[in-house]
Chains A and B, each alone.
Chain A
Amino acid sequence: MDTNTNFKHKMAAHCETGTLVGLLGNAGLEITEPMAFGIAHGIFFGYFESKNFPFPTFIVRTRPGEVREKLAKSLKIDINRLKFKNQEKGMQKLDDLLADGRCVGAQVDFFYMDYLPEWIRVHNNVHFVNIVGKDGDDYIISDSYHHQIAKLSASLLKKARWAGGYMAPKGFLYYPEKIITKPDLKKPIIKGIKKASWNMLNIPIPFVGVKGIYKFADKINTWPKLTRDTEHLSHEIMKINILLEDQGTGGAGFRYMYATFLKQAAAIVNNPTLDEMSERIMKIGDDWRNISYFAAKMGKNRDLGSDKIKELSELIRKQGDAEKAYFTDLKKVY
């Protein structure tokens, strides 16, 4: 196996932060996943209805790619970014970078990652992996969601890199060029906290931030009308659990990871208030986790009457209230 052997594979909660932390670690900058997420103010909420998706959905983090860009800006990391119209050139460039001993981050359609269990693989163009070597016609992949280094055939990698469609990867590759190995994290931490609070409270769009949580609470009451039958509704309700817990969030829609960030941040900036805020968001996370359990049970038991959906809606609305109060207080810290 022709691997760039200095790369240490490690599972991570989230693919974008996982690949980024892996690439930076490989280049000499050790930073934890929650720290990368927090500095890049990744915590978020948004509720979306679009023909790009087969059903309404929600996100619990900022736009894919933003964590990478914001972290690079905050820590003054020079990142090389490459996109390719020509697939052959894009594959050749990847081979050249690997031959140079580089490890390369790539954006791919998650569906084609055939080393992962079939039941989790859906078409999603914003999955990130690190490509760390080549073995014959196979590429050696470090995927944050896989417990070990994996292999992916060149043909599947090609499909995944040029999948087309919503947020198409367009062969996107990236790798750090120049880094500071021991950056001062104090200012980036404070800036990240301020921006996260602003994003959750002040973006003037009615379906993002805290407003997005309320929108979700309202709109979930309309879901029965949008589904084919009871089993479809059950599936969509159970997907709430997937989106909050299993789709690379670290649990409770990134709220547990953010709590860990604030705990680490409190020690670095020497501010005990952040410790308290860390405990608070951990508890808010527990309530999101309870919503996940509640939704899973509802779906499994086909307990999908309007009263039950209203109950779920009210639980989500309470999360809106809790996060509104929380981010208002967090904003006051700095």
Chain B
Amino acid sequence: MKEKDLYVEFEPQRSVYYVEKEDNSFGPIISGSQLSANYLDDFWMKKRNLEAALRKQIIANEISPIFYYMTLQEMGPKDLASRVGMSMRKLQKTFRPEQFKKLKIEKLRVLADIFNIPVSNLFQTFLIKDENREKLIIEQATTKNEFYSITKVSVK
């Protein structure tokens, strides 16, 4: 592909692509992602819709937070089971709320670590009202105590 046909301006996500240059030689250029430059809004919209649908299922006590995060982070059950150190069958049982509540706190810590979230987020969700979305920031920090995190809400 010719350099001029491939090049896209998109500073947040740039990659190296190989192209046919003006002098007919082949070589690398740094360009923005064509997909992200054009369709990132669509990606976020789908992600938000998926999160809302899964959250609704948690609230209705139909799924556990493990299923919620696994789905959102696009992980396969076999892969997640292996990361947690349990069989896939056993992990799949924990997708149900009644089995989730039987998990030991240490297992929850391992799961939270994999999902890169504080353990407390397996029991709660923070939402900002639409009208305040542009004004507020929620920041979470873990502490040396693996089971204790701090959430700070601030005005932008």
> Does B1 count as interface, using CB distance less than 8 angstroms?
yes
Q: In the bound complex, what is the Cα–Cα distance between A242 and B1 (angstroms)?
A: 17
Contact (Cβ within 8 A) A282 B76: no
- Closest CB of chain A to B137's CB: distance in Å? 15
Chain B positions within 8 Å of A164 at CB level = 82-85, 114
Q: Do B116 and A51 touch across chains, with their CB atoms under 8 A apart?
A: no
Q: Does any Cβ of A come within 8 Å of B13's Cβ?
A: yes
* A299 CA to B44 CA, complexed, in Å: 13
- Tally B residues with Cβ within 8 Å of A: 47
Task: Collect the chain A residues with CB atoms within 8 Å of residue B75's CB.
Answer: 54, 123
Check if B124 is an interface residue, CB within 8 A of chain A: no
Q: Which of B69-127 contact A (CB under 8 A)?
A: 70-71, 73-80, 82-85, 88, 113-114, 116
Is A165 touching B49 in the complex (CB atoms < 8 A)?
Answer: no
Q: Given the known A-B contacts A53-B76, A122-B74, A165-B79, are A256 and B19 also in contact in the complex, defined by CB atoms under 8 Å?
A: yes
Choose among B18, B33, B44, B88 the residue that contacts A246 (Cβ–Cβ < 8 A).
B33
Partner of A251, one of B13, B17, B39, B44: B17
The smallest beta-carbon distance between A180 and chain B, in angstroms, is 25
- The answer to whether B1 touches A246, judged by C-beta atoms less than 8 angstroms apart, is no
Query: If A122-B74, A300-B42 touch, does A251 touch B79 (CB 8 Å cutoff)?
Result: no
Contacts of A238 in B (CB 8 A): 35, 39, 42-43
Q: Which residues of A contact B74 (CB under 8 A)?
A: 54-55, 122-123
A245 within 8 A of B: yes
A286 to B40, CA, bound (A): 23
Of the listed stretches A77-85, A171-179, A257-265, name the one at the interface; the rest are far from the partner chain: A257-265
In the complex, B58 has a CB within 8 A of chain A:
no
Partner of B17, one of A53, A145, A242, A250: A250
When C-beta atoms are compared, the residue in chain B nearest to A234 turns out to be B46
Q: Which of A51, A263, A296 contacts B26 (CB 8 A)?
A: A263
Partner of A111, one of B19, B42, B116: B116
- Which of B12, B20, B85 has its CB near the most chain A CB atoms (within 10 A)? B20
Give the number of chain A interface residues (Cβ < 8 Å).
56
Q: A246 contacts B36, CB within 8 Å? A: yes
Find B16's partner among A13, A50, A263, A289 (CB 8 Å cutoff). Answer: A13
Q: A116 vs B1: C-alpha distance in the bound complex, in angstroms?
A: 27
Q: Which of B33, B76, B114 contacts A54 (CB 8 A)?
A: B76
CA gap between A252 and B34 in the complex, in Å: 12
The verdict on A166 contacting chain B, using a C-beta distance below 8 Å, is yes
The complex places the Cα of A145 from the Cα of B15 at a distance, in Å, of 6
Residues of B within 8 Å of A278, CB to CB, are 26
Q: How far is the CA of A245 from the CA of B17 in the complex (A)?
A: 8
Q: Which of B15, B50, B70, B82 contacts A13 (CB 8 A)?
A: B15
State whether the Cβ of A12 lies closer than 8 Å to any Cβ in chain B.
yes
Could you tell me if A13 and B28 are in contact, using CB atoms closer than 8 angstroms?
Answer: yes
Q: Does B14 contact A (CB under 8 A)?
A: yes
Q: How far is the CA of A138 from the CA of B80 in the complex (A)?
A: 27
Residues of B within 8 A of A259 (CB): 18, 26
Residues of B within 8 A of A246 (CB): 13, 15, 33, 35-36
B19 to chain A, nearest CB (A): 7
Q: Is B38 an interface residue (CB 8 A)?
A: yes
- Which B-chain residue is minimally distant from A282 (CB atoms)? B20
> Does A11 lie at the interface of the complex (its beta carbon under 8 Å from any beta carbon of B)?
yes
- Encoded as 1 (CB less than 8 Å from any B CB) or 0, chain A from 247 to 276 comes to 010111000110110010000000000000
CB-based contact A165/B35 at 8 Å: no
- Chain A residue nearest to B49 in the complex (CB): A231
Task: Digitize A109-123: 1 where CB-to-B-CB distance is under 8 Å, 0 elsewhere.
Answer: 001100001011011
Give the residue of B16, B50, B70, B80 whose beta carbon is less than 8 angstroms from that of A231. Answer: B50
If A13-B18, A256-B1, A263-B25 touch, whether A120 touches B13 (CB-CB below 8 Å) is yes
Q: Which of A123, A159, A168, A285 contacts B73 (CB 8 A)?
A: A123
Which of A117, A119, A252, A293 is most buried by chain B, counting CB atoms within 10 A of its CB?
Answer: A119
Could you name 8 residue pairs across A and B whose Cβ atoms are closer than 8 Å? A51-B77, A117-B36, A120-B13, A246-B15, A250-B28, A251-B6, A296-B38, A300-B39
Interface residues of B (CB under 8 A from A): 1, 6, 12-20, 25-28, 30, 33-36, 38-40, 42-44, 46, 49-50, 70-71, 73-80, 82-85, 88, 113-114, 116
17 more CB-based (< 8 A) A-B contacts, given A33-B16, A256-B19: A119-B44, A123-B73, A159-B113, A163-B83, A163-B114, A164-B114, A165-B80, A231-B46, A231-B50, A235-B43, A250-B17, A252-B1, A257-B18, A260-B28, A278-B26, A286-B1, A293-B34
